[in-house]
Amino acid sequence: VIKRTTHKVNTSALNVRDAAGTDGRRIGGLTQDKEVVVLGTQGEWSKIVYGNGFGWVQSKYLKSIVNPFKDVKRSDYFKDAVLWAVNHNPQITNGTDPTHFSPNQNCTRAHVVTFMWRAAGKPEPSLTHNHFKDVKDTDYYYKAVLWAVENSITYGTSTDTFSPSNSCKRCEVVTFLWRWRGYQEPEGTSNPFDDLVSGAYYYKAVLWAYNHKPEQITSGTSTNEFSPEAVCTRGQIVTFLYRALK
């Protein structure tokens, strides 16, 4: 079993090579604070996940990211995504307390657009008019909602409501991500899911997420079910975000 650990680059620029050692051919580079997954070490070099394969970097330029959460285990599918979200600059989300992330807690619509907005770098929305009566300028998600509407990521649940406290469904989350990433055509057109109907507003978004490269954003809840109406959890949304931005 390969022990995967998450690290952050602690120098302004770091060469990635195809072999351990300065004789290895340079195949790319990493910048300050970039997070990487380390697969193993050889002497003073670390083997990392890079692109669709792997590369080698000098270990002294990597800083290990400590996991403070009792409810996030090394074997959890969302472990790398959680550490990425918590250590991202700006921070995408913190734990629900200093030692718990609460990965199985449901995410609301406000949570999801806020996580996305922070992952985008907290851009200042140019939209100044807020037509949602349930979104106030004092709400933590106020700018995130305006940003999401401005970028056609979501249009609210009606002409004057955003429903920020509503639980966000899996179909909504992948649609938000798909719209944010530019309405990309799916890499594949085959539909593996019995509960994904052609003509659904989220149809292309689900196929895009299923066929996403270099890593699948979601493979569904089973081999033939996507469960579009199921609520998205904190562990799922940070994982979807992490994979979508790879």
Rounded CA separation 128/86 (Å):
29
Looking at residue 5, its pLDDT comes to 82
What are the structure tokens assigned to 78, written together?
């969302």
CA atoms lying within 13 Å on the CB side of residue 117: 25
pLDDT tens for 32-59 read: 988 898 999 999 999 999 988 999 999 9
Q: Is the pLDDT of residue 1 over 90?
A: no
Least confident of 22-26, 73-77, 112-116, 135-139: 73-77
Average pLDDT, integer, range 10-23: 96
pLDDT tens for 89-134 read: 899 999 999 999 999 999 999 999 999 999 999 999 999 899 999 9
pLDDT band for 246, please (50, 70, 90 cuts).
Answer: confident
Looking at residue 89, its pLDDT comes to 85
In angstroms, what is the C-alpha Rg of the chain? Answer: 19
Q: Is the pLDDT of residue 2 over 60?
A: no
What are the structure tokens assigned to 77, written together?
């599918």
Enter the pTM of the model. 0.80
Rounded CA separation 187/131 (Å):
36
Which SS3 state, helix, strand or coil, does residue 210 take? helix
Looking at residue 52, its pLDDT comes to 85
pLDDT band for 25, please (50, 70, 90 cuts).
Answer: very high
Looking at residue 159, its pLDDT comes to 94
Run of H or E residues at 241: helix 234-244
Looking at residue 214, its pLDDT comes to 86
Higher pLDDT, 217 or 88: 217
Q: Is the pLDDT of residue 87 over 70?
A: yes
pLDDT tens for 158-213 read: 999 999 999 999 999 999 999 999 999 999 889 999 999 999 999 999 999 999 99
Which SS3 state, helix, strand or coil, does residue 17 take? strand
Q: Using a pLDDT cut of 70, give the percent of the chain over it.
A: 99
What amino acid occupies position 163? S
Looking at every residue in the chain, the average pLDDT score rounds to 94
pLDDT band for 235, please (50, 70, 90 cuts).
Answer: very high
